[in-house]
Chains A and B, each alone.
Chain A
């Protein structure tokens, strides 16, 4: 989702682990590992900065011998590359709603679920859409609706677990508004607060149309102004009404700025230019690690959620394809999951990640328990002290309260044009 987080981490990483790994690689040629035939294989992966982390490439080289070449791009560029440059990658790490745009291009190939060892342990959200058997499915492009096709050469999505997957889920989270409790000084409980005149000139929303429109919809619905049939698939009329409300707010000076990149959102919040805004989880962490109070505020109307997954290029075959499956199985086997969950994301197979987290970490991040000691990120920053609880609570509290998923609507082109008008208004 972001480019910057990757740059931040990777620089540090290059200095610490990266440099050391490079030195080690030079000193000890190719380690002997169980994936013998894959040791000389290079896979080119691209995706958003969220999960395209150098640590993963270093670790996969160590465990499997596969060289992973990572390219981190922003959300829009990821879509662009997946749709227009099929030969430039082997593995696409994209968001589920992007799959809806990219799949029809034929640039990706379906994956055989029977080759995925931990398939049965993948969270229900990505299989039948239900987190627990009782949960209801949220609006928008829910991952399971674009997760399966009818066969190896399938071109259209099916609504059952057909055994042929478009993407293997890797990382997901529930997003909400970030606030500065020290500058607001009262409880915030609803999405409507984003347009509360109290925060005139101190609010912000993200300038990525496909995600921003969902935040807008959450606000309009919470205000009781619009009843959406499906927030993830609005009618032209609903789109018009949503933009009318936000354009008026913009003209009244409600917004300080709009942000497009991760670091912009961090700076707006940390500098106090903005006290309430759409935000992503690691951005909250980044603000907090500067010693500034910042909360990822759970709201009564629920979360806007997103999920990412790995897709295979249509041109992958033979040994490269086998290596890609091996990489996917490794990805779901726990180390990456633990690495991501310690940053506040969720892994597709949480139970395998448990072995790679301490009991305190697992309790804090997954179970929503009070921490028993300091919680640090995988990069060594202290994120919470003893006795703190994660904003929003446990995995089931958070992912169970998802109101809608990031999505691509049928009226997307219309929406994008309206978005341009909104920005220029």
Chain B
């Protein structure tokens, strides 16, 4: 009994913090999503108007489709790049000193704000930007390429640039925990480099990949500012829908959209966790 009591006390601070700053706000958002709104105020009610409008509007489906599309494409690119970088750091670089040095090098861009890192693409990709003028001077193209900026391409490019490190770190971490003798055993057993990668390294990296995946998908699905800046406001994802509603004082409608987005993200994560049992693997 006293032992159980101590355990409760020990868990209490964290539980209280989560209750106050995570659970309570979400409950609040869920409640407000049933409220009504006028031009300038919101009033308590229990109505399904916000959800009804949301599910009836074709925009919702387009925008959710876009959100998933951005998440999926960004995930694929960050995974391939992140895995490659982590593999190089973990297996190709031999000395620990260099591993640490190169790993820190990867994090240097994070010393600046991610908005700055994102916006700096704009002059680079623009009609008269560096990319276009270089390609023209090489004779690759005759006229500036328009789709480099303010397009799905630039949005995904920025996402990949911003979030690849979130894939590198957990995968690198998993790789460093792999017992090197397993790889030697695979080699002794006659496995090719590809077979070792496929049957030894990748399965053992699964928790890292999964954690990276969760980071990247949740970050991309919740983002609105990257989509706004890099598409020149011409594309929309769910985050932008919410931010538009908020700026126009339509809090209940924004809350309803947020609740639907939250549910969608939770479903994605639940599916991911079915694939890999992170607790067991860690």
Which residues of A line the B interface, CB within 8 A?
76-77, 79-80, 83-84, 101-102, 104-105, 201, 204, 207, 209, 250, 255-260, 267-268, 271-273, 408, 412-413, 416-417, 419-421, 423-425
Partner pick for A83 among B41, B129, B149, CB 8 A cutoff: B41
Q: Is the CB of A417 within 8 A of B57?
A: yes
- Distance in angstroms from A209 CB to nearest chain B CB is 7
Residues of B contacting A272 with CB < 8 Å?
Answer: 127-128
Q: Is the CB of A423 within 8 A of B240?
A: yes
Q: Is the CB of B62 within 8 A of A273?
A: no
- Distance in angstroms from B261 CB to nearest chain A CB is 15
Which residues of B line the A interface, CB within 8 A?
39-41, 53, 57-59, 62-63, 66, 122-123, 126-129, 146, 149-150, 228, 231-236, 240-241, 244, 246-250
Q: Is the CB of B248 within 8 A of A76?
A: yes
A421: nearest chain-B partner, CB-CB: B59
Contact A258 to B233, CB < 8 A, known contacts A76-B248, A83-B41, A412-B39: yes
- Distance in angstroms from B70 CB to nearest chain A CB is 13
- Distance in angstroms from A120 CB to nearest chain B CB is 32
Residues of B contacting A424 with CB < 8 Å?
Answer: 59, 62-63, 66, 235-236, 241
Listed residue (B57, B241, B249) with the most chain A CB atoms within 10 angstroms of its CB: B249
Residues of B contacting A417 with CB < 8 Å?
Answer: 53, 57, 59
Q: Is the CB of B244 within 8 A of A408?
A: no
Residues of B contacting A209 with CB < 8 Å?
Answer: 248
Cα of A180 to Cα of B121 in the assembled complex, Å: 24
Q: Is the CB of B40 within 8 A of A416?
A: no
- Distance in angstroms from A335 CB to nearest chain B CB is 33
Q: List 17 A-B contacts (CB under 8 A).
A: A83-B40, A83-B41, A84-B249, A101-B40, A101-B249, A105-B41, A204-B232, A255-B232, A255-B234, A259-B233, A268-B232, A271-B126, A272-B127, A413-B39, A416-B248, A424-B66, A424-B241
Other than the known A272-B128, A416-B250, what 7 A-B pairs have Cβ atoms closer than 8 Å?
A77-B247, A101-B40, A255-B232, A255-B234, A273-B127, A416-B244, A420-B241
Residues of B contacting A268 with CB < 8 Å?
Answer: 232
Q: Is the CB of A102 within 8 A of B63?
A: no
The 10 A-B residue pairs whose C-beta atoms are closest, nearest first, are A257-B232, A258-B233, A76-B247, A424-B236, A207-B233, A83-B40, A101-B40, A421-B59, A257-B150, A424-B59
Residues of B contacting A201 with CB < 8 Å?
Answer: 146
Cα of A122 to Cα of B154 in the assembled complex, Å: 50
Cα of A207 to Cα of B235 in the assembled complex, Å: 12
B236: nearest chain-A partner, CB-CB: A424
Q: Is the CB of B59 within 8 A of A260?
A: no
Cα of A102 to Cα of B126 in the assembled complex, Å: 40
Q: Is the CB of B234 within 8 A of A271?
A: no
- Distance in angstroms from A377 CB to nearest chain B CB is 25
Residues of A contacting B246 with CB < 8 Å?
Answer: 80
B37: nearest chain-A partner, CB-CB: A413
- Distance in angstroms from B150 CB to nearest chain A CB is 5
Cα of A101 to Cα of B40 in the assembled complex, Å: 6
Residues of A contacting B122 with CB < 8 Å?
Answer: 267
Residues of A contacting B249 with CB < 8 Å?
Answer: 79-80, 83-84, 101
Q: Is the CB of B236 within 8 A of A256?
A: no
Listed residue (B66, B129, B228) with the most chain A CB atoms within 10 angstroms of its CB: B228
Q: Is the CB of A423 within 8 A of B233?
A: yes
- Distance in angstroms from B221 CB to nearest chain A CB is 16
Q: Is the CB of B57 within 8 A of A256?
A: no
Q: Is the CB of A258 within 8 A of B146?
A: no
A416: nearest chain-B partner, CB-CB: B248
Q: Is the CB of A258 within 8 A of B232?
A: yes
Listed residue (B40, B233, B241) with the most chain A CB atoms within 10 angstroms of its CB: B40
Q: Is the CB of A80 within 8 A of B59?
A: no
- Distance in angstroms from B268 CB to nearest chain A CB is 21
B228: nearest chain-A partner, CB-CB: A260
Q: Is the CB of B234 within 8 A of A80?
A: no
A200: nearest chain-B partner, CB-CB: B146
